[in-house]
Amino acid sequence: MVTGALLKSTKSSLCLLQCMKTLAAQSRSFTSQLNAQQLAIQELTRNYTNDHLKPNASKLDLQGLFPFEEIRQLTKLGLMGACADKEYGGLDLDYLSLTVAVEEISRGCASTGMVMSIHNFLYANLVNERGTPEQKAQFLANFTKGDIGCFALSEPEAGSDVANIKTTARQDGDYWILNGKKSWVTSAVEGAATVVFATFDPALRHKGLACFLVPLDAEGVFRGKKEPLIGVSAVLRAATACDLTLEDVRVPATCLLGHAGEGFRIAMEQLDQGRIGIAAHAVGIAQAALDTAISYAKERNAFGKTLTRLPSVKDRLTDMCILVETARLLTYRAATDVCTKNSSMAKYVAGRNAAAVADHCVQILGGRGLSTKFDAERHFRDARGTQIYGGVTDIQKRLVGHYLLKEHNAL
């Protein structure tokens, strides 16, 4: 009788365990396996990167040349409107497909990857998802065919503190009049239009923000000079960022994206996407640094053997591999389950890991790691920037902690 009861209890436990496994499998929202579409995009962008980007990346960087031809080729591939609706010239891809594409492009040329990431995640996706049909016709259709879009949020006194935006928006009949200054606007030198966040009532703080679509050739829009970053050893030298000054810029009321007062929410939701793009960008740079280190270590001899046979170098390469893969998994997870906590975790880890991997790469190459004749120093410079733009790591860590405690009702 004891044996029968034990057997019955065991069968019940096994049945319960199987049910739990089935429910867990059904509720799982992320898998590290890419689907057929995502694999196709990965192969397409990887081949393009190997054939066209990697051979020219150093030249673009050293000469500070904006990647016009590379962006034109990506446009022909449909990747400058990756997630946009097909009726406006897009490919209607999911976020993970775009993430994979940004990673691969950034692996070949970080500057090109940055332009592509900002244009898609912060501009095209926003217009595609929130724009009216009229707004899409004006501010999206041509932006899947070659025009570059920008995202103007930061200001001299408002970076992470979005509610402190000083740019003003005053309604005048069927128009809004914009005045203010925006900082660090990626691709604004070459861009055709930008998203602008402004306050129509400073007393309301974040509740007084509105979001506008502004042509960069509009009267009263002045583009500053390209900002040099980190002195002579600039990050992303082939990409551009500049200030935008708005002086009595009149835009039709039809250029208001969403409703007045929704600006803060729009900015936060779009930054959730933008952080995924920067994380993918960082993963691509980290992978490039790992590839560079392995290629060099396989060929370089020291103490009668290749560097790959030296324990210290092998340990560094192992650490680099782990850092790349953990960042990649967090980034892919964020792309499949978009929320502030996930995107902030991805950007925090990917940025820090990219910087660490690039540092290992320089160390493995030794003196050559400091030479502009080798790719290691470029990866080192480019990786450092991923901890700053799109939201500094300090803020990302605070966001993760806030939403973690919120999930557990512990605030």
CATH number at residue 225: 2.40.110.10
Both tokens assigned to 83: 């997630």
User: Are 118 and 197 found together in one domain?
Assistant: no
User: Are 279 and 403 found together in one domain?
Assistant: yes
DSSP class of residue 317?
Answer: H
> Is 31 inside a domain boundary?
no
> Is 13 inside a domain boundary?
no
User: Are 373 and 300 found together in one domain?
Assistant: yes
CATH number at residue 305: 1.20.140.10
The pLDDT assigned to 29 comes to 56
> Is 369 inside a domain boundary?
yes
Asked if the model's pLDDT at residue 220 lies above 70, the reply is yes
Per the listing, tokens 């096994």 go with 14
Could you tell me the pLDDT band of residue 6, with boundaries at 50, 70 and 90? Answer: very low
- Final residue in a domain of this structure, among 93, 125, 144: 144
CA 371 to chain CA centroid, Å, is: 28
pTM of the model: 0.91
> Is 274 inside a domain boundary?
yes
Could you tell me the pLDDT band of residue 157, with boundaries at 50, 70 and 90? Answer: confident
Q: Would you say 216 and 193 are in contact if contact means Cβ atoms under 8 Å apart?
A: yes
User: Are 227 and 284 found together in one domain?
Assistant: no
Percent of the chain whose predicted confidence (pLDDT) is above 70: 90
User: Are 235 and 296 found together in one domain?
Assistant: no
> Is 233 inside a domain boundary?
yes
Could you tell me the pLDDT band of residue 1, with boundaries at 50, 70 and 90? Answer: very low
Q: Encode pLDDT of 14-53 as tens digits.
A: 444 454 444 344 444 567 789 999 999 999 999 999 999 9
User: Are 294 and 399 found together in one domain?
Assistant: yes
User: Are 324 and 230 found together in one domain?
Assistant: no
User: Are 229 and 314 found together in one domain?
Assistant: no
The pLDDT assigned to 159 comes to 77
Over its C-alpha atoms, the chain yields an Rg (Å, rounded) of: 24
| Rounded (5°) CA angle 152-255-391 | 20
- Final residue in a domain of this structure, among 210, 231, 259: 259
The pLDDT assigned to 237 comes to 73
Q: Cα separation of 353 and 320, whole Å?
A: 8
Per the listing, tokens 């929202």 go with 29
| Residue 220: CB atoms within 10 Å | 15
- Final residue in a domain of this structure, among 93, 118, 144: 144
Question: Span 367-384, mean pLDDT?
Answer: 95
Q: Cα separation of 151 and 195, whole Å?
A: 5
Residue from 111, 48, 110, 33 nearest 78 by CA: 48
> Is 21 inside a domain boundary?
no
Question: Span 181-196, mean pLDDT?
Answer: 96
Q: Cα separation of 106 and 283, whole Å?
A: 8
Determine the length of the chain.
411
> Is 393 inside a domain boundary?
yes
The pLDDT assigned to 235 comes to 58
Question: Span 337-345, mean pLDDT?
Answer: 97
Question: Span 116-134, mean pLDDT?
Answer: 98
Q: Would you say 178 and 255 are in contact if contact means Cβ atoms under 8 Å apart?
A: no
> Is 8 inside a domain boundary?
no
Higher-pLDDT residue of 24 and 224 is 224
Residue from 161, 154, 142 nearest 81 by CA: 142
Phi, psi for residue 187 in degrees, rounded to 5: 70, 10
User: Are 272 and 332 found together in one domain?
Assistant: yes
CATH number at residue 139: 1.10.540.10
**Mean model confidence pLDDT for the chain:** 91
176 is in which domain, residue-wise? 149-259
User: Are 67 and 182 found together in one domain?
Assistant: no
Q: Encode pLDDT of 271-293 as tens digits.
A: 999 999 999 999 999 999 999 99
Question: Span 75-97, mean pLDDT?
Answer: 98
| Residue 343: CB atoms within 10 Å | 30
The pLDDT assigned to 225 comes to 83
User: Are 279 and 385 found together in one domain?
Assistant: yes
Q: Encode pLDDT of 171-183 as tens digits.
A: 999 999 999 999 9
Count structural domains, the chain: 3
Residue from 261, 254, 264 nearest 131 by CA: 254
User: Are 277 and 372 found together in one domain?
Assistant: yes
Q: Would you say 126 and 161 are in contact if contact means Cβ atoms under 8 Å apart?
A: no
Higher-pLDDT residue of 353 and 30 is 353
